[in-house]
Amino acid sequence: MSFDPVTFLFLIPALAAVVIALMPGSKLSAYVNAGASFLTFLAALSLLWVERPTPGAYVLVDEFNTIFVVLIPFVAFTTSVFSATYVEYELETARVTPAFLKLYHALYQALTLCFVLALLSNNIGVMWVAIELATLTTVVMVGIYRTHAAIEAAWKYFILASVGIALALFGTILVYMAAEPVMGAGLNAMVWTDLVPRAASLEPAMLNLAFVFLLLGYGTKIGLFPLHAWLPDAHAEGPTPITAVLSGLLLNVALYALLRCKMLLAGNPEALAPGPLMIVMGLVSLLFGAFMLYRRRDIKRLFAYSSIEHMGLITFAFGLGGPIANFAGLLHMALHSLTKSAIFFAVGDISQVKGTQKIADMGGLTSTNPLIGWGLVIGVAAIAGLPPLGIFTSEFLMVSATLEKQPLLAIPLVLGLLIGIGALFLQLNRIAFGEPKGPNHKVKCSYVPMILHLGLVLIAGVYLPAGLVAWFQAVAKLLG
């Protein structure tokens, strides 16, 4: 039997979740979690070299999802390393009990499995199931501290996410109903690789209705305005590694699902163009996120709103379409994922050092804790889109594609970006510079994940390998 990375991608997290759940005691669970995440990442990485399996009724590996199948286990692995030291401190300060810690690690692996399943699924129904399970898993993880605020956040997240999920399922059923007259009843009418080539013959009116539901449904998970209300709470009240996972991974997986649906619509000339809807939702989210950055008092909420802003930006880029905007969107998805999780690694350490998430109680971090402080500064510079860091490239490409296709739209786009930059630096000034404030607890931090991520973002800004560019360009063309 030849080596089949896909099987390993499913098996490793599934087995690890079971092993962690059955393990006596919780001491080793963090190490098992990190180890399993590393193995999953290796299996994902091998997809780059091993010949891709032919798409079946359930599993699909193509150029598009390989980007995310490699990226997401990577971020999941680095986050699990960060998480190991983070939760150790939480255990010391008795914010979580050992039993809950074990649950947390088992769920972490289950979540990885859901992500991989959603990404590799060739079946529109299975993809929906995977995203639903990912949501339910994260609900529990957000509420794991069981404080007043954490329960409220988890409940709000649960209610809004369920509504989103329900709408997405309705959209999924509609896609099937649009396809059934052409493809015949049965499994074929739910398989991406069968649907997309025959998209032109599907019932356009039904497809339109389906896309509206899918956009609202998955849009809730992406955190697009006005469906974003769960996002800041869920980000602020859960453990910080989960905040990094939500921002860096979950939002991207939901966006990936939406893009698959968009491909279906793009293939049908009579159906409504998905672009304008995505452009409007994207731009409104961008502006909303940027304005909301100003008055935030909680450091995790601040960066949660920044995620809304960036998800809006990416949705806008894909809505605009065309090879350049799509390329920029893909690049931005990858870099935002790396940068935002690096920022949350720093934020996690900061909130442990200071014993609070309130921005007013922080200050002068660059002098008291230079490594975290400057890490945060570089992360914020990256997310704000300053050269030479990677996000500058993708934002620059987005603006130039907008100027070329729809020059008027460049005004709100640039405005949103500038407002965001202003707010971020205003807040950063309070957190990282000035007089040191508040306590300075001795906390063991793992700096390696943060430095690794920021290093990659820097490299992406200075030099993008030609192979990677060609790969992303091919996918950008595929997305239409």
Partner 1 sequence: MHGLSFDIAHLLAGSLVLVSFMLLYQDRLYALLNVYALHAVVLAMSVAWQAYIQDAPHLYITAAIALLFKAIIIPVALHRMIVKLGVHREIETVGGIGLTMLLGMGLVALAMVVTLRATEGAGLLAREDLAFALSVVLLGLLMMVTRQNAVSQVVGFMSLENGLVLAATGAKGMPLVVEISVAFSILIAFIIIGIFLFRIRERFDTVDIGALDRYRGEHG
Binding footprint of partner 1 on the chain (CB under 8 A):
123, 125-126, 128-129, 132-133, 136, 139-140, 143, 146, 148-149, 151-155, 158-159, 162-163, 165-167, 169-170, 172-174, 176-177, 180-181, 184-187, 190, 203, 205-206, 208-209, 232-233, 236-237, 296-298, 301, 358
* Closer CB to partner 1, 298 or 309, in the complex: 298
Residues 465, 467, 470, 472: is their CA dihedral positive or negative? negative
Query: Which alpha helices (DSSP H) does 238-298 contain, by range?
Result: 240-245, 251-266, 274-292
Provide the minimum distance between the beta carbon of 140 and partner 1 in the complex, in angstroms, as a whole number: 6
How many angstroms separate the CA atoms of 276 and 24, rounded? 54
Kindly report the CA angle at 271 between 213 and 318, in degrees rounded to 5?
A: 70
132 vs 309, beta carbon nearer partner 1: 132
Decide: 246 and 234 in contact? Cβ < 8 Å.
yes
In angstroms, what is the minimal distance from the CB of 172 to partner 1?
Answer: 7
User: What are the structure tokens assigned to 5, written together?
Assistant: 């990375």
Least Å from the CB of residue 294 to partner 1: 13
**DSSP assignment string, 135-155:** HHHHHHHHTTT--HHHHHHHH
Nearer to partner 1, 106 or 398 (CB): 106
Identify residue 146 by its one-letter amino acid code. Answer: R
3-state helix, strand, coil in the chain (%, to 5): 80, 0, 20
Least Å distance, CB 115 to partner 1, is 17
Q: 380: Cβ–Cβ under 8 A, 6 or more apart, which residues?
A: 343, 424, 425, 428
DSSP alpha helices (H): ranges in 47-185?
Answer: 63-92, 98-120, 124-142, 148-183
Helix, strand, or coil (residue 432): helix
User: Are 250 and 337 contacting, i.e. CB atoms less than 8 angstroms apart?
Assistant: no
Closest CA to 285 of 231, 245, 339: 231
For the CB of residue 264, give the shortest distance to partner 1 in the complex, in Å: 16
How far is CA 98 from each of CA 13, 110, 246, rounded to the nearest angstrom? 21, 19, 23
| DSSP-assigned beta bridge partners for residue 123 | 191
Q: Which two tokens stand for residue 307?
A: 């995620």
Which lies closer to partner 1 via its Cβ, residue 139 or residue 398?
139
> Closest CB to partner 1 among 155 and 447?
155
Distance of CA 478 to the CA centre of its chain: 21
CA 351 to chain centre: 22
Enter the tokens of residue 155. Answer: 């409940």
Note whether 422 and 291 are within 8 A (CB).
no
121-156 CB burial, b ≥16 within 10 A, e <16: bbbbbbbbbbbbbbbbbbbbbbbbbeeeebeebbeb
Of 165 and 249, nearer to partner 1 (C-beta) is: 165
CB of 424 to partner 1, least distance (A): 17
Q: What is the nearest approach in angstroms of partner 1 to the Cβ of residue 212?
A: 9
